[in-house]
Structure 1
């Protein structure tokens, strides 16, 4: 009998530990905006770049340019895998020169895709006069099944350890507040989105890759310097495809960074953003002053002058704040602001109050 009680106690302990190991799910909504304010603060010329493949990305899958892009992406990975393991999906991507493309300007409000119509998907997947094999035919079906599964579950998680879920536009709650702020403060919206996620302890939590605004990579390089266009580039445009295969230009979004939410007895939010802003910087240049009457090696004088050069500043926004669920939290900065709310939600496997 004592052995039976010991086994029962061990089972209860294991079940309790398993329950504690499961993440607690919350609904997150975030609004990032740029201030139209003048400041005397001098920003550093240091550049900040992010390893996007190490971060969770909910934006790119929502912005794939068309149905064929979505289906091609799902051929190598599911939408959940693209969100949680973009590095692995990129390695499995079979056609790197035709990878899903993002627009040059990101819409400031991001929402989950509407379910794809079966007829629309099948038409996009089956070009005329080309024989489609069985493997290719399953691509469109996967996309439709993914959309139908999201619709059937009302965009709610069914497994505590599943990938985060991007909120649809009609699930976002900041709309009226944003309209009032735009009217009163004339701010510039950069990003508005939301998602449902399981929140983990800090050592297990993964950050989200957030970005928005315009891609500035055609104007500036990754050192912040203006892109120089040579005459040779315009003379041989027919060979441009070779460059696209060997060198891939990474986008430089106006807003880019990471956001991590984790539990450490309380909820914490870590933000690590940059606002990329074109401006001017002073650079040193050499000026030669020569005697107009006698030009000799002895009367050539070299002096330093300052010139202005276009430069892409990376304005940092790094904060770590303890927050409470359901409360509206504001992260302040001279050039931008972040409004965030974390809401409690029904946990996976729990019955709704109506049920």
Structure 2
């Protein structure tokens, strides 16, 4: 074989390999990832080993939040159905009518109903709200007692009737978050004396004070996104039971999720993991104890302290035009400095809404699973970074006074090649993580949908 022919064969082989590799990489690889997280019931201050501590207890940023979607889901779609408080852009909005207008409009109908005692409707003096305006409540009277209405049962009586009928003896109080019947519509960007303010509504339900150890998701065979699976998908029940029975170990989380696994570490999606207690009521995002006074937040507050001037206001554009006509350089250093304070450039993934009410979990971090060819064989890899938080007493506290605490955050970062259907353990003197990854074959679409 001459040199020119060998070069032609080599070029053809390289072209064929460049065509085959993307086709192989384009194949969908889905896996079920089962994780158990536990701590060792060990105080950080009692260990002789010294650990590197994080500067703050910021929430982890990730591409997928399978636990948060179940624990405190985003209700943006529900809020879209609420009317706007000003009524300007609500499709079904109608201004409420005062009670006098209602009586004047429907008085003839009510007088006609008065002629039939068995179907009499009257207006009582009980205060209530009708369509957002006016007072009064319409009460139907029984036929044998004209002129008087029986008292309506309140919420507590209705609940007691239901509990008695259901045979429930002990029941804990149930609380729900406060809500409104309409949604405010502030400008998404405004300017105050302190600088630019972005309005980023938090559309998630409030996070609990303690995350349940076992969470139940949904088994969607052909879901296109990462999601938490039901308890039926778990296969490490025996190991989880052994950890639960151990005196030296304390389970924090046992979940299973399903995700698509990509080739290459840079293409892998970060799946957020958090577990244990929520320290948000005790500590700030800097790890310091909260006091009775105003809470210091490490990020610029998105709630304006003064009355904001909207971008649509005349004052803003007037001042901007004045500065542009001054023929002097416009200094954007203040805007850039505030932007650097709002966005944490050292963390990957999307930007999260952060304020003093942001949950601070006992364990928080991410885990990403990816595939990588080694000698033409695809191998699974796990890249994870988890932070374990624990209150630690501050030294130098005066005698007789209550001890002060700081929330320490200990990182655990691992990059490891793993094998499917094998147990893998990430060890730390304070906590541990057990992981098992199993290949999932997605069912084919029906013939009519292909």
TM-score range, shorter chain: 0.5 to 0.7
Partner of 1:42, secondary structure, is: coil
Is contact 2:72-2:204 (8 Å) kept?
no
Structure 1-normalised TM-score?
A: 0.60
Partner of 1:36, secondary structure, is: coil
Query: Structure 2 CA distance, aligned partners of 1:53 and 1:209?
Result: 7
Structure-to-structure mapping, 1:266-277, within 5 angstroms? 266-277=379-390
Structure-to-structure mapping, 1:126-165, within 5 angstroms? 155-157=220-222, 162-165=224-227
**In the superposition, relative to structure 1, how do residues 213 and 16 fare at CA in structure 2: closer, same or farther (>3 Å)?**
same
Q: Who is 1:108 aligned against? A: 213
Query: Structure 2 CA distance, aligned partners of 1:247 and 1:319?
Result: 29
Q: Who is 2:64 aligned against? A: 56
Partner of 1:203, secondary structure, is: helix
Shift of 1:215: 1.2
Gaps of 5+ in 1: 1-9, 77-90, 114-153, 234-240, 286-306
Shift of 1:308: 6.6
Greater share of residues in helix: 1
Candidates 275, 285, 288, aligned match of 1:222: 285
Query: Structure 2 CA distance, aligned partners of 1:185 and 1:247?
Result: 37
Is contact 2:57-2:287 (8 Å) kept?
no
Is contact 2:226-2:257 (8 Å) kept?
yes
Query: Structure 2 CA distance, aligned partners of 1:75 and 1:269?
Result: 41
**In the superposition, relative to structure 1, how do residues 350 and 48 fare at CA in structure 2: closer, same or farther (>3 Å)?**
farther
Is contact 1:33-1:338 (8 Å) kept?
yes
Deviations 1:246-268 (A, max 9, x none): 95522111110111111112111
Is contact 2:59-2:364 (8 Å) kept?
no
Query: Structure 1 CA distance, aligned partners of 2:48 and 2:60?
Result: 32
Shift of 1:191: 1.2
Aligned length: 251
Candidates 32, 35, 43, aligned match of 1:30: 35
Larger radius of gyration: 2
Q: Who is 1:72 aligned against? A: 78
Gaps of 5+ in 2: 1-14, 83-187, 189-198, 296-302, 306-353, 374-378
1:261 equivalent to 2:369? Answer yes
Q: Give the CA RMSD over aligned residues.
A: 3.7
Structure 2-normalised TM-score?
A: 0.49
Structure-to-structure mapping, 1:1-355, within 5 angstroms? 17-37=22-42, 39-50=47-58, 52-64=60-72, 69=75, 72=78, 96=201, 99-112=204-217, 155-157=220-222, 162-200=224-262, 201-230=264-293, 248-265=356-373, 266-282=379-395, 309-347=404-442, 349=444
Is contact 2:243-2:251 (8 Å) kept?
no
**In the superposition, relative to structure 1, how do residues 284 and 271 fare at CA in structure 2: closer, same or farther (>3 Å)?**
same
Greater share of residues in strand: 1
Query: Structure 2 CA distance, aligned partners of 1:165 and 1:198?
Result: 10
Query: Structure 1 CA distance, aligned partners of 2:227 and 2:53?
Result: 37
Query: Structure 2 CA distance, aligned partners of 1:177 and 1:74?
Result: 44
Partner of 1:223, secondary structure, is: coil
